[in-house]
């Protein structure tokens, strides 16, 4: 459930008692990446307990990881693009801090990209569009006036049950958190946030204690983040995958913020730069049933990964085609949707939801969802005339009709009879009928739907 606490991301905690590397138990890992052996890796065990980062004898750092939430990350549908048409995949998080009450998590990968603020003005974290985008805040929360109550990161990555598990935290943004002593806009109350510059020097979180380039601060970007503009480091003609990621701390000028570069060192960048990655952080209880162990990652690139325990989740968006907004739903693989409230549109009657934008195939709400999709609303104007296949419709004009046209003669036929137009339904569809007098003046236009 949601909890409120004070300044925890801002404090340097007491040095944690690092656990020794534990021996591998008889359970083999679900997956060990190429060039790795079981003897190289840390097995966090099968129990749902999590450790603080461990500094190894060779100078590397190992973090426990958890699975929580889902987001677009890689090409899953085979179209050679990473986009929102792909399936959402479980998000892996590094455990930066662990105790019996809460975990501080940082996404293992750079998940998305975008500007710290969408305008080139002196905006701190508290009034930035990136904060609103992460947390689904309305237009009043950011200086640019953009409404993120729909389509936000938190709504895309977490369903309602998962959102309720995230601890709402007081995030301190005073000058002590940054590099240049600049206030970051005061304390904010956030579910999701970015690390501060001071956080990235916290050795208790597994980071190097100096500001020099260091692998503990390096992060790879997902293909989805790269497709959205993240500039992944390139060696020759191939990507290494590391990219820059935003911090919440102010930069060297008021219209700049600090980011970590692909090499793991800080840099001050213009806040409207759109090629910097987003690596969210959050607090959650270790007792949450919605997180599961994901293995470990090491600062030298080694990964010991456990498969997610929870089913894949998909997001369904509702395109109301001019009607009132309907919020998206996130469901587990194979689950059916809950029929949303009926949208409204002045002058129109709602006819239902369709799986295609051409409105050919109705959606059956008893059907299980097997991928991300958009459903489209079908409407009928209140002024639309209805005729059944094989039947006739009489449209009065009040004046003698000389000629009548129909937009599609395969759907309906028309003939003139005095001051009326006779429409006969031939096949299902929608047509436009226009009546003219002998001088070619329009006597009336109707939309006719043949059922």
- pLDDT bin (cut points 50, 70, 90) of residue 8 is very low
- pLDDT bin (cut points 50, 70, 90) of residue 250 is very high
- pLDDT bin (cut points 50, 70, 90) of residue 271 is very high
Is the pLDDT at 46 greater than 60? The verdict is: no
Domain locations in the chain? 4-305, 313-380, 385-450
Predicted pLDDT of residue 17: 29
Predicted pLDDT of residue 360: 86
- pLDDT bin (cut points 50, 70, 90) of residue 43 is very low
How far apart CA 263 and CA 352 sit, in angstroms, is 52
Backbone angles phi, psi at 170, to 5 degrees: -80, 120
Predicted pLDDT of residue 235: 64
Predicted pLDDT of residue 288: 95
Whether 115 and 257 have beta carbons less than 8 Å apart is answered as: no
**DSSP state for residue 217 in the 8-state scheme:** G
Predicted pLDDT of residue 291: 95
Assign domain 313-380 to its CATH superfamily.
Listeria-Bacteroides repeat domain (2.60.40.4270)
Predicted pLDDT of residue 3: 38
Architecture of the 385-450 domain:
Sandwich (2.60)
Predicted pLDDT of residue 7: 40
How far apart CA 242 and CA 184 sit, in angstroms, is 27
Is the pLDDT at 280 greater than 80? The verdict is: yes
How far apart CA 32 and CA 52 sit, in angstroms, is 22
Same fold, 313-380 and 385-450: yes
Mean pLDDT of 117-138: 94
Average pLDDT, the chain: 85
Can you say how many angstroms the Cα of residue 284 is from the centroid of all Cα atoms in its chain? 19
Whether 102 and 96 have beta carbons less than 8 Å apart is answered as: no
Q: What is the 3-state secondary structure (H, E, C) of 395-446?
A: EECCCCCCEEEECCCCCEEEEEECCEEEEEECCCEEEEEEEECCCCCEEEEE
| pLDDT tens digit sequence for 173-186 | 988 888 888 888 88
- pLDDT bin (cut points 50, 70, 90) of residue 159 is confident
How far apart CA 300 and CA 61 sit, in angstroms, is 8
- pLDDT bin (cut points 50, 70, 90) of residue 224 is very high
Predicted pLDDT of residue 48: 60
């Amino acid at each position: 459930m949601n909890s409120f606490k004070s300044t925890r991301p801002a404090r340097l905690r007491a040095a944690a008692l690092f656990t020794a590397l534990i021996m591998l138990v008889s359970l083999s890992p679900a997956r060990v990446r190429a060039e790795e052996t079981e003897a190289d890796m840390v097995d966090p065990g099968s129990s749902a307990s999590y450790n603080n980062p461990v500094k190894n004898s060779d100078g590397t750092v190992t973090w426990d990881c958890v699975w929580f939430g889902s987001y677009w990350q890689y090409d899953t549908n085979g179209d050679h693009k990473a986009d929102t048409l792909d399936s959402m995949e479980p998000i892996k998080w590094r455990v930066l801090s662990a105790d019996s009450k809460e975990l501080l998590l940082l996404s293992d990968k750079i998940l998305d990209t975008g500007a710290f603020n969408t305008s080139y003005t002196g905006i701190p974290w508290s009034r930035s569009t990136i904060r609103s985008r992460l947390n689904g805040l309305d237009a009043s929360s950011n200086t640019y006036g953009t409404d993120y109550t729909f389509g936000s990161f938190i709504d895309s990555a977490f369903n309602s049950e998962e959102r309720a598990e995230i601890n709402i935290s007081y995030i301190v943004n005073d000058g002590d958190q940054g590099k240049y002593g600049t206030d970051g806009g005061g304390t904010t109350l956030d579910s999701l946030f970015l690390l501060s510059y001071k956080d990235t020097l916290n050795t208790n979180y597994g980071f190097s204690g100096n500001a020099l380039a260091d692998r503990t601060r390096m992060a790879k970007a997902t293909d989805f983040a790269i497709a959205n503009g993240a500039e992944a480091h390139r060696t020759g003609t191939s990507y290494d995958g590391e990219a820059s990621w935003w911090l919440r701390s102010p930069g060297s000028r008021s219209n700049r913020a600090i980011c970590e570069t692909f090499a793991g060192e800080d840099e001050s960048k213009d806040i409207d730069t759109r090629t910097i990655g987003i690596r969210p952080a959050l607090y959650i209880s270790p007792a949450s049933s919605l997180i599961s162990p994901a293995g470990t990652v090491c600062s030298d690139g080694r990964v010991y990964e456990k498969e997610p325990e929870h089913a894949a989740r998909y997001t369904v968006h509702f395109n109301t085609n001019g009607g009132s907004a309907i919020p998206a739903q996130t469901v587990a693989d194979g689950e059916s949707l809950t029929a949303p409230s009926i949208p409204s549109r002045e002058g129109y009657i709602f006819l239902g939801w369709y799986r295609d934008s051409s409105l050919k195939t109705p959606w059956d709400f008893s059907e299980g969802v097997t991928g991300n999709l958009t459903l489209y609303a079908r409407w009928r104007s209140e002024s639309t005339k209805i005729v059944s296949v094989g039947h006739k419709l009489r449209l009065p004009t009040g004046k003698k009709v000389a000629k009548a046209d129909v937009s599609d003669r395969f759907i309906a036929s028309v003939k003139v009879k005095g001051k009326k137009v006779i429409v006969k339904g031939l096949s299902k569809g929608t047509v436009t009928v226009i009546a003219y007098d002998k001088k070619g003046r329009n006597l009336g236009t109707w939309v006719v739907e043949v059922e």
